Structure 1
Amino acid sequence: MKFRNDINGLRAIAVLPVIFFHAGVIGFNGGFLGVDVFFVISGFLITANIIKSQKSDSFSLLSFYDKRARRILPPLILTLLITTVFSFVFMLPYDLKNFGQSLVSTSFAANNILLYLTSGYWSLASEFKPLYHTWSLAVEEQYYFILPIIFILLLKKQKCLKVTVILFFIISFLSSYLIENKEFNFLMIITRFWELCAGSLLAMYMKERVTTKNDAMSIIGLFFILYSYYNPYILSNNSAIINLAPVLGTLMVIAFTKPNSIIYKILSTKLIIIIGLSSYSIYLLHQPILSFIRLATEGQVGSYKQLMWALLSIPLGYLSWRFVESPFRNKKVVSNKVFYSLIALCFMSFISLGLFLNKSYGMQQYYVFSKYSYGVNPQAYADRPYSLAKHNFESDGQKMLIIGNSFARDIYNALKENDATDGYEVIYLANYNNDISLSRNLLSHADVTILVSSSGMANKIIAPSTLKASAIESKNEMDKYSNGNYYYVGTKNFGFNNNFIKQINWDSSKNYMVEINKSNIYADKIESNIFADNYINLLELFREKNKTRIFTDDHRFISFDTDHITKDGALFLGKRILKTTKLKNIIL
């Protein structure tokens, strides 16, 4: 179809808010919806091109995928190459392992699936994943595999074709509306299909009917898009309803904007055109830039500093478009033989490296990386106490009950590594409130009870009233149903991000101190007042003012994610707990 400056301008309107959102700029709470604008544009353009090719009897799957490959893969490969190089500079082995998984899944257009399968408690925060944003590329690529097949199968049955696309739209929209799993809803194609279908349906409609210029509808459409960036939750917190405004707005702009209209002129200004042309490369590059800045920084990075760095993706994206995207789309410049040989070589290399990084746990056994290693698989180690979950005590000897989530499992590991659990039958209870009668029964039969806080974890400040009420409720349960011999272990924290340590001199870093998250300090203050003599203060073990150490005396990381402890950390922390706190009384 004929190139439209307004659609190209919409790409700029889509990519900039995504950058502002990821940089944490105030006023762009819905900047992530720029991706939805991209989806609609992609659905419209791809379908319009398929219709045009079929009309002239020139459509073929081979030609379609060749154009998609030449459009998508060169900038992606450049991004993967740059990201891979910088990952070795900025990442510890633990994060390199996760990066290896992303490298493989992105190469197979399936990073959205990987992100969903690995989402949850132990998932690495998205802001530290340089390839997190390729989930949207995976969704588009999966759509490209489905849509042409539908058009080929139903080429001579146009009514059936329309009904099929409409049916896909309805099923996908309803899935997005009804599915409450936010990770699934955000990442998977079944709940995103309707947005691409919306663009496809518009292209099918405009094939048969010429839409007329309507400035009012164009302006309203652009308003829907821009306002959704500012306030995405005005109507609902439901994902389908949130995404509806930018989708509808994009459809309106595409349908009713014509040359010489107000919106067309706005979207056709020179700077917007340049950003629109470069938008794909800009989008690919902005997330790695932000991720590596965060990985290299000890604490949280201010939003305007993040924005300053993220805006570098605009000139870099333009260079990528000019010298990578454009040349590789031209068969006269890069022949099929050269193009596909390079593509195959690059992706085989990325997949091989990714698998190696994953299997070798980020090459943690190699000399240059071994000093940064967390030793064993830290997540598996942290989850070890699950094997102690039982419904009742079975022995006549001393009984210990440990209550709480992953922070409680850390405390068990710390005690176990220092032989403090010897002589006890230990039961681990992950959630006290799941079965209150069972929990009270275990509590009443335990000789020693250790209840562990996780307040302030992940830098989340809990409202004072909520925190106090929860702590008081827990204390009342302990006072009423235990034998009185209980301890409440407070929250712990070892900074915000370990990866920054690669940017300082290793030999002088053993006693390095980092800022304790304010959320942990805040929670510690409230809970210590409530539990008083029964409180075990973990923050005070290594605290100097509002800083804490991050390494053991053997120069090993205490924590692998600044919240949960490594095996070395368990031995080190447990030794200090049993030497300086009342928990030393539990040793038999």
Structure 2
Amino acid sequence: MKMSQKNMSPIEATETGRPRYRPDIDGLRAVAVAAVVLFHAFPRLLPGGFVGVDLFFVISGYLITRILCTDLQAGRYSIATFYARRVRRIFPALALVLTTTYVLGWFCLFNGEFKQLGKHIIAGVGFVSNWVLWGEAGYFDQAADTKPLLHLWSLSVEEQYYVFWPLLLAFAFKRGRVLITIVGVAILSFVLNVLLIPHHAAAAFFLPGSRVWELLAGALFAHLPQLQDRRGFRILLAPQYQNVLSTLGFALCIGSFIGFNSQLAFPGWWALLPVLGACLLIGAGIEGWVNQRVLAHPVAVGLGKISYPLYLWHWVLLTYATIIAGGNSPAFVRRGIVAISVGLAWLTTIVVERPVRFGPSRIAKVLVPCLAMLVVAYLGQMTYMRDGLDFRKGYSPNADVNTAKLGAGHEFVKASCGVASADQHLFQFCETDKRAVSHYAVWGDSKADALYWGLVRESSPGQSWTIIGRPSCAPMVGMRRTSSYVGDDSKDCVMADQKALHALIANPDLGTVVLVTAARVLTGQTYERTGDSRRDPSAALDGLDSAISALQRAGKHVALVVDNPTLPDPRSCMDRKPLALHVVRAALGVTAINASAKCAISYQKNLSRTTSYRAVIEQVKQRHPDLLVYDPASVLCDLKSGVCPIAMNGKFLYSYGDHISDYANGRIADQFLPLLRPSAIATSHDPSTRNVGTN
């Protein structure tokens, strides 16, 4: 006996066998995309707006499963037809946005950035952006707001779901195990998500295994109509509960938008709230009060219909505005970008999407979008393989933008640093000069890596170098960082330091060890002694002291390089080519160019910023009179004028963040290496010449 329209479940199919259109689902899409756009444009206004992506996951899981279940029940299931529909739905707008992103990048991005964009375009076409971004996540990662295609990670998660779910669902359907399959896989995925969050937050955020439970939550609600004969589900779907479900679901979503922020360990347990909210709104059906009065409102439905291209466009435009302006653009610019994004989304829907998506199903509507994506992929591959097409000229009046690089000298090294292969995962920096046996080593964090390449390139024969270290992990012994720090796990840091010290001491060929660490890592964090939960202000000093003592007892000569001045990321100190046009500067609220000059700081300001850090260095020096302390300030600053610039002699001194460039590390190596010769070390032990090379 067929159900009447009046008594039909809110998520039941129509009597024609096709899923019934629900305008409130488009309205829910509008809520999701509005939250994401507002979060990206005005993060303080809606600090938890990023969970709009989680709403999209639930909606996608619901709609795709409903379509597949309807086709399976009607006996017209076809995997080829399913993928053809996906191509017609997703490829046209994506190809257009990727092409536009590439063209804008041609004019706006420097070579390294354009090369990375090429990689991200390839990842976007292949729907593996989430995997690529996961691999990039961490200390060295380019700022998120300067990656025009960062937002494609969520689209990639959905596409990966589309690959396995139709096949798994069809398999489960034939065996009558749909419910247990949905619930079982969802539970496994959620558990993985919770397990990953404490120590592998980036993996939990980006990877499909820890996200698919959100899509399967939507899939569960698509399957509920098949469970009408089960009392619990029949009560849940009863009409008298629709208003309750609708109101509660909406409250959970809005509460997440307002109450969450980017500091949460997300997704984790927190993701349950917006996911449950979206599920309840879907389960309430069109008759639910919020669904009927808010989500099904024509304005919400209209915005929901353009939500996909709006999601694609808004982030691209916001990031390019940030890139060109050299920082967060003014509020009026961001408001304008949101309005332009809505307009572009509407045009994309009318001109590009609908002609391909709807109407007669012709093979050309599948082949042409696929061909367009292949062309875009070729552009990305070519750009990546040719290092960002360095024949393009940037616009920076005071320095060559191509000198803001780091890592020249990789051809001279091999991936080895004296630790066991099972421990190499602890060290992001683990290289040895393959041209000769290493007698010198650098131990430290990313500042050590920035210096290392200059030492490798400028060292004389027989003066080969090894580096061992990990980002944000100071070279110390017996201490554990208690403060949270991006890019590093404190327990892994403790273990890495222990392994590094053992490897350095155990290598009889290494006679000199150079310690390098960022001031913010050594004195900008709090530490405790391992085995003692009490925070100790002197722990950093004692940890560094213990490392030096252990090395000196093993007969190693030890040197310490003082951290370089902290300047802004060089990318924010470069004038982009579009800024040569007055109209662009006016539109973005940029009042002047010559950004590199604005990035300089005074030498005295550098000293005042690092007072506590330099105090620790001085105390370490007092404890270890034989310690060579070298300060590169004479290379990185004009001490006569008292200025530390971002560039010198037409070349950038910094590469990324506040890390020195190859130009700078080469100049430092020229001054520092002679101090490490045996005769110089012997001289440095004489109290009258103790601080040679320092300022």
TM class by smaller structure: 0.7 to 0.9
One of 646, 653, 660 as aligned partner of 1:550: 646
- 14-23 vs 77-86, greater mean Cα deviation: 14-23
CA offset at residue 259 of structure 1? Answer: 3.1
Call closer, same or farther: CA 1:236–1:478 in 2, change over 3 Å.
closer
8 Å contact from structure 2 (residues 404, 652) kept in 1: no
What is the aligned partner in structure 2 of residue 568 from structure 1? 663
2:365 maps to 339
Matched-pair contact (CA < 8 Å) for 2:455–2:465:
no
CA distance in 2, matches of 1:321, 1:546: 57
Matched, 1:406 2:446: yes
Structure 1 residue 11, shift from structure 2 partner: 1.0
The verdict on how the C-alpha distance between 1:354 and 1:115 changes in structure 2, with shifts beyond 3 A counting, is same
Output the TM-score relative to the length of structure 2: 0.71
Compared CA separation, residues 368 and 197, structure 1 to 2 (3 A): same
Q: Does 1:286 align with 2:314?
A: yes
Gaps of 5+ in 1: 392-397
User: Matches of 1:574 and 1:567 in 2, distance apart?
Assistant: 10
Structure 1 counterpart of 2:181: 164
Within 2, Cα distance between the matches of 1:98 and 1:198?
A: 35
CA-to-partner distance for each residue in 1:387-412, whole Å, 9 max, x for gaps? 78458xxxxxx975533122123234
Q: Which residue of 1 aligns with 2:402?
A: 373
2:517 to 433, 447, 453: 453
2:32 and 2:53 in contact (8 A); partners too: yes
Counterpart secondary structure, 2:20:
coil
2:611 corresponds, among 514, 517, 525, to: 525
Q: 2:377 aligns with which of 348, 351, 358?
A: 351
**1:248: Cα distance to partner?**
0.7
**CA distance in structure 1 between the aligned counterparts of 2:60 and 2:345, rounded to whole angstroms:** 19
Aligned to 1:395: none
Contact conserved, 1:165 with 1:201, CA < 8 A, in 2? yes
Q: Does 1:265 align with 2:350?
A: no
Aligned to 1:143: 161
Match of 1:174 among 188, 191, 204: 191
Paired position in structure 2 for 1:61: 79
Matched to 2:282, the amino acid is I
Query: 1:136-179 CA deviation, whole Å, 9 max, x = no partner?
Result: 1111112122222234334443x322222222212212221222
Contact 1:468 1:526 in 2 (8 A): no
Aligned twin of 2:357: 329
How far 1:268 sits from its partner (Å)? 2.7
Residue of structure 1 equivalent to 2:92: 74
Q: Distance in 1 between matches of 2:82 and 2:166?
A: 8
| Partner residue of 1:502 out of 551, 576, 592 | 576
Q: Which of 226, 232, 242 lines up with 2:260 in the alignment? A: 232
Aligned residue type for 1:403: W
Identity of aligned residues (%): 22
CA distance in 2, matches of 1:263, 1:282: 22
Mapped to 2, the partners of 1:225 and 1:149 lie a distance apart of 31
Which residue of the partner structure matches residue 394 of structure 1?
A: none
Contact 1:80 1:103 in 2 (8 A): yes
Spell out, residue by residue over 1:61-88, the C-alpha distance to the aligned partner (whole angstroms, 9 max, x if none). 2332222222111111111111011111
TM-score in terms of structure 1 length: 0.83
On the 8 A contact 2:27/2:296 being kept in 1, the answer is: yes
Return 438-447 or 350-359, whichever deviates more: 438-447
Q: Label 1:579 to 1:87 Cα distance change in 2 as closer, same or farther (>3 A).
A: farther
Alignment map for 1:464-543 (pairs within 5 Å): 469=538, 471-474=540-543, 476-477=545-546, 486-498=559-571, 500-503=574-577, 512-514=597-599, 524-532=610-618, 534=629, 536=631, 538=633, 541-542=636-637
Counterparts in 2 of 1:481 and 1:146: CA distance versus 1, 3 Å: closer
One-letter code aligned to 1:526: S
- Tell whether the 8 Å contact from 2:418 to 2:504 is kept in structure 1 after alignment: no
Task: Work out whether 1:585 is the aligned partner of 2:692.
Answer: yes
| Cα gap change, 1:24 to 1:234, in 2 (>3 Å) | closer
3-state DSSP of counterpart to 1:585: coil
AA partner of residue 136 (structure 1): S
Distance 1:68 1:454 in 2: 49
Unaligned runs of 5+ in 2: 1-18, 229-236, 420-437, 470-474, 478-496, 528-534, 582-592, 622-628, 676-688
Alpha-carbon distance between aligned partners in 2 of 1:146 and 1:264, rounded to the nearest angstrom = 34
Instruction: Determine the structure 1 residue equivalent to 2:203.
Output: 184
User: Secondary structure, in 3 states, of the residue corresponding to 2:442?
Assistant: strand
Are 2:249 and 2:277, in contact at CA under 8 Å, matched by a contact in 1? yes
**The 10-residue stretch of structure 1 (285-294 or 544-553) with the greater mean CA deviation from structure 2:** 544-553
- 1:75-90 alignment runs, 5 A limit: 75-90=93-108
Task: State the superposition RMSD in angstroms.
Answer: 4.3
Amino acid at match of 1:195: E
Is the contact between residue 299 and residue 495 of structure 1 (CA under 8 Å) also seen in structure 2?
A: no
Alpha-carbon distance in structure 1 between the residues aligned to 2:278 and 2:560: 58
- Is the Cα–Cα contact under 8 Å of residues 455 and 523 in structure 1 kept in the other structure? no
Which whole-Å CA distance do the structure 2 matches of 1:97 and 1:235 have between them?
A: 30
**SS of aligned partner of 1:109:** coil
Farther-moved stretch of structure 1 (461-470 vs 404-413): 461-470
